[in-house]
C-alpha cells in the first residue's frame, strides 16, 4: 500500500474525525481540518500521544483565506467532508436557512474543490477528490429538505465533474462520492431538532408538531447505526483502492432500501 497525503475537512467531530484517525493509523499522512480551534488541538494531542502522522488546524470552508491554506500541501486525496444541516417544511422554512446550508455544503465545497483540482493539475496531473453526500440526498426525507437538497446537489456536481475530467486525456484526477446513511453521531438528530425552535411558535403544523416530533424521534432511534465501522471502511476504500468507483455507500441495509425505493419511484 502506498502512503497517501490526505486532506479531509470537517474532521473535528463525527465521521470526519473517525475517518481521519483511522486513515492515519493505516500509515497515511492526514491533514485533518476542523471548524473550531479546540477541535484541532484535541486531534493534534491525540496524534502526538499515539504517534500518528496528522496535522490538524482550523479551516472554515466559508472563508476564502482559509480555503487557500490547502495550497500549502501536496495532496493526493481530498475528502470534502465538511457539512451542516437544517430542517423544516419547504412551504414555510426561511429561505435564508436553506441558503446557509447550500453556502456550506455546496458552494463553499465547490470553491475548495476547484482550488484543489487546480493544484493537482499544476503539481502532477493526478489525484482523487471525494465528495461527501448522503443517502438522504438520493431518497429525500420529509421536513429535512434543506439538508437533503444540498446533498442531492452534491451528487449532481460530483457526477458531472467525474465525467468532465475523463475528457482531459493528460489529467488523471478521479472523482468519487461517499454516501453515509443514518449513523448515531448526533448530527442527524441535531439537524432534525432545529426546526422545532420556530415550528412550535408559528407553523402550518403547529397543531400536530408534537406528534411529528414524537414519531421522528422514534424513527431516528430505530434507524441510526453505531458503531461507524461500515462507513469508515468506505473512507479507507476511496483512498486505497486501485480503481475508484463512483459511489461508496453504507450501511448495506439502508443502501438496499434506498436502491429499492428509487426503483419503485419513491
pLDDT tens by residue, 199-241 = 999 999 999 999 999 999 999 999 998 899 999 999 999 999 9
Average pLDDT, the chain: 95
Q: Is 128 helix (H, G, I), strand (E, B) or coil?
A: strand
Q: Look at residue 48 in the predicted model and tell me its pLDDT.
A: 96
Tell the CATH topology of 5-263: Rossmann fold (3.40.50)
Contact 9, 80 (CB under 8 A): yes
Q: Look at residue 179 in the predicted model and tell me its pLDDT.
A: 97
Task: Report CA torsion sign: 128, 134, 138, 143.
Answer: negative
Is residue 1 pLDDT above 70, yes or no? no
Q: Look at residue 133 in the predicted model and tell me its pLDDT.
A: 97
Q: Is 221 helix (H, G, I), strand (E, B) or coil?
A: helix
Contact 165, 171 (CB under 8 A): yes
The single residue listed with the C-alpha cell 419513491 is 266
Is residue 3 pLDDT above 70, yes or no? yes
* pLDDT tens-digit readout, 163-190: 999 999 899 999 999 999 999 999 999 9
CA pair distance 119, 63, nearest whole angstrom: 18
The single residue listed with the C-alpha cell 489525484 is 127
Q: CB burial class (10 A; 0-12, 13-18, 19+) of residue 236?
A: middle
* Cross-strand partners of 127: 173
Q: CB burial class (10 A; 0-12, 13-18, 19+) of residue 52?
A: buried
* pLDDT tens-digit readout, 63-106: 999 999 999 999 999 999 999 999 999 999 999 999 999 999 99
Contact 56, 118 (CB under 8 A): no
Q: 266 pLDDT band (50/70/90 cuts)?
A: low
Q: Look at residue 28 in the predicted model and tell me its pLDDT.
A: 98
Q: Cis bond leading into 227, ω under 30°?
A: yes
Is residue 259 pLDDT above 90, yes or no? no
Amino acid at each position: 500500500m502506498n502512503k497517501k497525503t490526505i486532506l479531509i475537512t470537517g474532521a473535528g467531530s463525527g465521521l470526519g474525525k473517525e475517518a481521519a484517525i483511522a486513515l492515519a493509523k493505516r500509515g497515511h499522512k492526514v491533514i485533518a481540518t476542523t471548524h473550531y480551534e479546540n477541535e484541532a488541538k484535541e486531534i493534534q494531542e491525540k496524534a502526538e500521544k499515539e504517534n500518528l502522522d496528522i496535522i490538524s488546524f482550523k479551516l472554515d470552508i466559508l472563508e476564502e483565506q482559509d480555503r487557500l491554506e490547502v495550497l500549502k500541501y501536496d495532496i493526493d486525496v481530498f475528502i470534502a467532508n465538511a457539512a451542516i444541516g437544517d430542517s423544516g417544511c419547504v412551504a414555510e422554512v426561511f429561505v435564508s436557512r436553506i441558503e446557509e446550508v447550500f453556502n456550506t455544503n455546496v458552494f463553499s465545497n465547490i470553491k475548495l474543490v476547484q482550488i484543489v483540482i487546480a493544484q493537482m493539475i499544476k503539481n502532477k496531473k493526478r489525484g482523487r477528490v471525494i465528495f461527501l453526500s448522503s443517502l438522504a440526498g438520493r431518497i429525500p426525507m420529509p421536513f429535512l429538505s434543506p439538508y437533503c437538497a444540498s446533498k442531492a446537489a452534491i451528487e449532481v456536481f460530483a457526477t458531472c465533474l467525474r465525467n468532465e475530467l475523463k475528457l482531459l486525456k493528460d489529467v488523471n484526477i478521479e472523482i468519487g462520492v461517499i454516501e453515509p446513511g443514518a449513523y448515531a453521531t448526533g448530527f442527524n438528530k441535531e439537524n432534525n431538532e432545529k426546526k422545532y425552535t420556530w415550528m412550535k411558535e408559528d407553523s402550518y403544523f403547529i397543531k400536530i408538531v408534537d406528534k411529528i416530533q414524537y414519531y421522528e424521534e422514534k424513527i431516528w432511534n430505530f434507524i441510526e447505526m453505531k458503531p461507524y465501522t461500515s462507513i469508515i471502511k468506505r473512507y479507507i476504500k476511496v483512498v486505497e483502492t486501485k480503481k475508484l468507483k463512483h459511489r461508496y455507500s453504507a450501511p448495506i441495509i439502508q443502501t438496499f432500501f434506498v436502491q429499492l425505493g428509487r426503483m419503485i419511484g419513491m
